[in-house]
């Protein structure tokens, strides 16, 4: 019998936990409920669980009989809405798995039912006022990606990685401490943790504005390269079966690229933006597109693909019927979850939520020795972001790229950095003036000096308007900076595509060094000749 664990969230969707079918089935519904009551405990509010058996439905011949009925075990209100594709499961103390997800308020909640009250309030991590099992991590920025994984082997536990439009935070949840905080000008759209190629240290690899960066647990940038467009999906997979992981990258230019460290070893073109990737088995991986297509590749050959009118929000690999082969699990924008055979794409299991799926993770969440599939949903009332197709050009004109970089992009990047520094200094001065003005205005109010109080508050109003105006200018400047960085990264990739093998990697590395040294002439020379030497 399959087991379902539902968490009904007040204003925040629900969480579904699926467990693999057991070999020995119980003889009656009453004995099943008795067993569940013995192992599942009670509600977070102290009441006993509510059992609601689902009547068995007619099942197709292809469906395993053990997954034909799902029984809700208990419900738990979390009162937090989940951002799509920002769900992870981590063992932050090395033992107990904790469900982690990003909220719309710039926070990350950590659900740990195994160690109530273990966390204490700090400047970042705070206990929820609604539930003792939930801790809230204050990011104070909009979260764009999130994952958990073993970044520092010496710690023996998972670290939490949170990406935003401008930074990457690695956090040690168990010790309530930052591992590192790194600025990422290209942004972090997607993130994955693991070992890559011959690099011995585990890396947190982020994909952003046409670039890929890999950080170790100390925050050192051990991996960097460029790709064709904005990155939307990352996964680690042994693509060529050599026992070492390659990096799968899906981007807005409809291509799936396979990086063996910083070298592209394969490239597959699709019909839409790649939104999700997952490793199925050695040499095999699943993918999802923005137009509702999901499918599986075996190395560079497509096994199968299907298209739905709904959008695939997330995908995962999980052996749902215990046959030793992982199925492709897909969470849809309609709230449907289905499991498809990796060989044929045939649906062998499905269930439905009332709202869109936010993420799918897996782990031994009940600590009973078996792996469960955990599916998280959102409330379904938020609108889906509009995906704009990128135009792909097949014309390669090296001189045009060079003139664009040298004449426009690099000087504009320098100018944007200078403007940003100046605006930051001005905003800091304005903030100090506002703080001082507010104190003087309140002093006048307490002393009954209404004339001076009115004068101070009028000055405070003018300062506040100036501060808002500077903030708008800074936002516009940041957008221009991202566009110029994207143009530079694309130009470097195109210059690399004119070479093959080690020469391609040498060009990309040399271009990066030239940018670090702010040498436009050297950059043009490298793109033209492939080297900075005469």
pLDDT in tens, 288-303: 999 999 999 999 999 9
- Relative to beta strand 190-194, strand 177-183 is unpaired
Q: Roughly how many angstroms between the first and final C-alpha of the chain, as a whole number?
A: 71
Mean pLDDT of the region 268-290:
94
Token code pair at residue 418 = 């200078």
Q: Which residues pair with 340 in a beta bridge?
A: 328, 347
Nearest-Å Rg of the Cα atoms of the chain is 26
Q: In the predicted model, is pLDDT for residue 404 greater than 80?
A: no
CA-based angle 443:446:447, to the nearest 5? Answer: 85
Asked if residue 226 lies in contact with residue 211, where contact means CB atoms within 8 angstroms, the answer is yes
Q: Over the stretch 411-439, which tens digit does the pLDDT of each residue have? A: 777 777 777 778 788 878 888 888 888 88
Pick the CATH number of 74-114+130-384 from 1.10.1740.10, 3.30.70.100, 2.130.10.10, 3.40.50.300: 2.130.10.10
Nearest to 167 by CA among 135, 202, 140, 199: 140
pTM of the model: 0.67
Question: Any idea where the domains of the chain sit in the sequence?
Answer: 74-114+130-384, 409-498
Lowest-pLDDT choice from 47-61, 140-154, 467-481: 47-61
Q: Give the span between the Cα atoms of 280 and 328, in whole angstroms.
A: 8
Q: In the predicted model, is pLDDT for residue 231 greater than 80?
A: yes
> In Å, what is the CA distance from 261 to each residue of 190, 198, 218, 496, 524?
17, 8, 20, 15, 25
Q: How many residues does the chain have?
A: 534
Asked if residue 88 lies in contact with residue 146, where contact means CB atoms within 8 angstroms, the answer is yes
| pLDDT interval class at 280 (50, 70, 90) | very high
Q: What is the pLDDT of residue 175?
A: 86
Q: What is the pLDDT of residue 68?
A: 37
Cβ atoms within 10 Å of 255's Cβ, excluding its own: 19
Residue with tokens 């794409």: 345
What's the chain's average pLDDT? 77
Q: Over the stretch 163-182, which tens digit does the pLDDT of each residue have? A: 999 999 999 998 888 899 99
CA-based angle 199:202:203, to the nearest 5? Answer: 90
Sign of torsion over alpha carbons 93, 99, 100, 103: negative
CA-based angle 316:319:321, to the nearest 5? Answer: 135
Nearest to 443 by CA among 434, 456, 459, 431: 456
């Amino acid at each position: 019998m399959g087991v379902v664990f539902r968490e009904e969230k007040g204003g925040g969707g629900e969480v579904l936990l699926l467990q693999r079918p057991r070999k020995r089935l119980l003889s009656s519904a009453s004995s099943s409920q008795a067993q569940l009551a013995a192992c599942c405990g009670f509600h977070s509010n102290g009441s006993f669980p509510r059992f609601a058996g689902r009547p068995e439905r007619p099942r197709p011949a292809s469906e395993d009989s053990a997954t034909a009925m799902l029984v809700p075990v208990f419900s738990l209100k979390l009162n937090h809405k989940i951002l799509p594709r920002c769900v992870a499961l981590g063992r932050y103390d090395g033992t107990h798995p904790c469900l982690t997800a990003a909220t719309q308020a710039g926070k990350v909640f950590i659900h740990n039912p195994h160690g109530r009250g273990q966390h204490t309030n700090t400047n970042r991590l705070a206990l929820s006022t609604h539930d003792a099992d939930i801790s809230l991590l204050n990011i104070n920025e909009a979260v764009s990606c999130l994952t958990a994984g073993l970044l520092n082997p010496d710690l023996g536990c998972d670290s939490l990685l949170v990406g935003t439009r401008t930074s990457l935070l690695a956090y040690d949840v168990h010790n309530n401490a930052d591992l590192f905080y790194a600025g990422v000008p290209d942004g972090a759209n997607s993130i994955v943790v693991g070992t890559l190629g011959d690099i011995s240290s585990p890396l947190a690899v982020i994909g952003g504005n046409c670039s890929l960066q890999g950080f170790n647990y100390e925050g050192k940038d051990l991996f960097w390269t460029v790709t064709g467009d904005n990155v939307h999906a990352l996964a680690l997979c042994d693509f060529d079966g050599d026992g070492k992981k390659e990096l799968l990258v899906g981007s807005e230019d409809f291509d799936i690229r396979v990086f063996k460290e910083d070298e592209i070893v394969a490239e597959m073109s699709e019909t839409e933006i790649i939104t999700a990737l997952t490793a199925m088995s050695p040499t095999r991986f699943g993918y999802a597109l923005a137009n509702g297509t999901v499918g599986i590749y075996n190395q560079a050959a497509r096994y199968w693909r299907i298209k739905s009118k709904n959008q695939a929000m997330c995908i995962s690999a999980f052996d749902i019927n215990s046959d030793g082969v992982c199925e492709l699990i897909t969470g849809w924008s309609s709230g449907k979850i289905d499991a498809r055979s990796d060989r044929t794409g045939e649906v062998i299991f499905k269930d439905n939520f009332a709202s869109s799926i936010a993420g799918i993770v897996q782990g031994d969440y009940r600590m009973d020795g078996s792996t469960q599939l955990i599916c998280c949903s959102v409330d379904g009332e938020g609108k889906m972001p509009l995906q704009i197709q990128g135009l792909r050009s097949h014309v390669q004109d090296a001189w045009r790229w060079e003139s664009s970089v040298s004449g426009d992009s690099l000087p504009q990047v320098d100018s944007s950095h200078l403007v940003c520094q100046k605006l930051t200094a001005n905003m800091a001065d304005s903030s100090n003036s506002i703080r001082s003005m507010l104190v003087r205005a309140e002093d006048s109010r307490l002393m009954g000096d209404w004339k001076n109080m009115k004068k101070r508050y009028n000055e405070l109003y003018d300062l506040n308007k100036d501060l808002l105006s500077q903030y708008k200018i800074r936002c516009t400047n940041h957008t221009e900076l991202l566009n110029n960085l994207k143009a530079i990264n694309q130009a470097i990739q195109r210059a690399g595509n004119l070479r093959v093998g080690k020469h391609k990697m040498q060009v990309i590395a040399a271009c990066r060094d030239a940018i670090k040294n702010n040498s436009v002439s050297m950059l043009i020379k490298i793109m033209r000749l492939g080297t900075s030497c005469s």
